[in-house]
Amino acid sequence: MLKAKLELLTLDLQRAQQSLSEAQNIAEKYGLEVLASRISSEQVELQEQLSKWEDFKKSDAIIAERMDLARIDKQLIRMLRKRLYLEKIIF
């Protein structure tokens, strides 16, 4: 999912959709239902926001606007929390 969000920042909308589809397939292949559900929600959200992303592409929007819409900060925070949790368990 992070890869797809980074692709959104570069306004590569088609590649972002492909990355989400690939992530969905991998999650389903390994029985990761919660992750598959989250990815599915991201796909729906991207479809709903597609016109906004297209507008960003046409207007050459600043990176801060794109980061807000992509919610990169929330994704990174989620990843850091998981890492901290796993470090506590392992060490």
What tokens appear for 3 in the block?
């890869």
In the chain, the amino acid numbered 18 is Q
Chain length of the chain: 91
Determine contact, residues 46/17, Cβ cutoff 8 Å: yes
pLDDT tens digits, one per residue of 27-76: 999 999 999 999 999 999 999 989 988 888 888 777 778 788 888 778 77
- Max intra-chain CA distance, the chain: 49
So where are the chain's domains?
A: 2-90
Confidence grade of residue 22 (pLDDT, cut at 50, 70, 90):
very high
pTM as predicted:
0.72
